[in-house]
Amino acid sequence: MTQGRAYLDHNATSPVRPEVAAAVARALALPGNPSSVHQEGRAARAALEAAREAVAQLAGTAPDRVVFTSGGTEAANAVLSGALRRAGLPAPSKLLIGATEHPCVSAGHRFAPDCVETIPVDASGRIDLGALGARLDTLRDAVVLVSVHAANNETGVVQPLSEIVALARGHGRALVHSDAVQAMGKIPVDFDGLGLDALTLSGHKFAAPKGVGALALAEGVGLEAPFLRGGGQERRLRGGTENLPGLAGMGAAAELAATRLASEAQRLGLLRDELEAGVLARAPDAVVFGRGAPRLPNTLSFAVPGLDAATALIALDLAGVAVSSGSACASGKVARSPVLAAMGVSPALSAGALRVSLGWNTVESDGPRFLDAFERVISSLYKRRGEAA
């Protein structure tokens, strides 16, 4: 990180921890292929399986349920390819997705357009359980795949996965996938306890290297065909030699996240709440998105009427503060956030949306630095308003 800067964009990517970098270096020194049977291969395999065990523990499942991928997008694409099966059921014929899903879900599936339906969310960004239940009731004869993320990448709003799974089980022929990319390492995720059929995650969101991720499949649930054809790696679902250094780093990051989950949630939650209070004190007309709903402890998403996000981002960056206007996947695009649109936020207000997301290397001085820079941006906006009046 650049000296003297405040990096507050952990939902885009969380910088690699020093301990994780050390684990990557150790794995780079291993000469063997994890699929080889000689001593060097066995050492590589041991490192790979240690990483799988750590990721499984963080996700709340058994290691043999975890399949490694190149990231959350590949994992979600594989699950939503139409190949997901529960024993005794045919392929899903309908896909129901939440209105605020990440593009890896909303644009990454392979269902025909007339087989996909969007379930609305309320003004806070939480899935409309009544609408989901009603739609499942009308699809009693169909096998349905429901995909709702665990937490939103822009607003941090946490979804009621237990209730969603309960509705699916009441249907009897519905499977549930959750994109847990933003939740993993920030709040507890219990794959087995929730009763999910599939879960996907990405390492770089919890301080692992970029380019590694995983999917988890419940007992009795699998993919009908490999999503990457080649060798027999990863339960014969993803061919190709595994990215051992990256996965070893993800294992180390998962272990660190698991041991510090509660303490970091408390620390970052307090810092986030101080930031939120500071924003509202300086801009009383600011709107905090998802404020009335459960949110990730590290995430603050807000907008000030009349404030242009692009202008604010440049000013904050010049002041040494890195934040985002929303999803990093939409960086550089001048477009209304589909997440905020689904929540009923006006185009004018969503044009000024800013996202502050904290992480492991956030320190107390980062908050005042952001607020000082934000105050200068707001003062300029309010001065222009006064001149216009």
Could you list the active site residues? Answer: 329
Q: Do 213 and 69 contact (CB within 8 A), yes or no?
A: yes
CA distance 10 to 355: 10
Cβ contacts of 289 within 8 Å, gap of 6 or more: 125, 154, 155, 157, 301, 302, 303, 340, 343, 345, 353
Show the tokens assigned to 388.
């216009």
Show the tokens assigned to 303.
């907008």
**If 0-12 CB within 10 Å is exposed, 13-18 middle and 19+ buried, where does residue 387 land?**
exposed
H or E segment to which residue 275 belongs: helix 244-282
Q: Which DSSP string do the residues of 8-22 spell out, in sequence order?
A: -BTTT-PPPPHHHHH
Show the tokens assigned to 304.
């000030």
Q: Do 72 and 202 contact (CB within 8 A), yes or no?
A: yes
C-alpha count within 13 angstroms, C-beta hemisphere, residue 184: 36
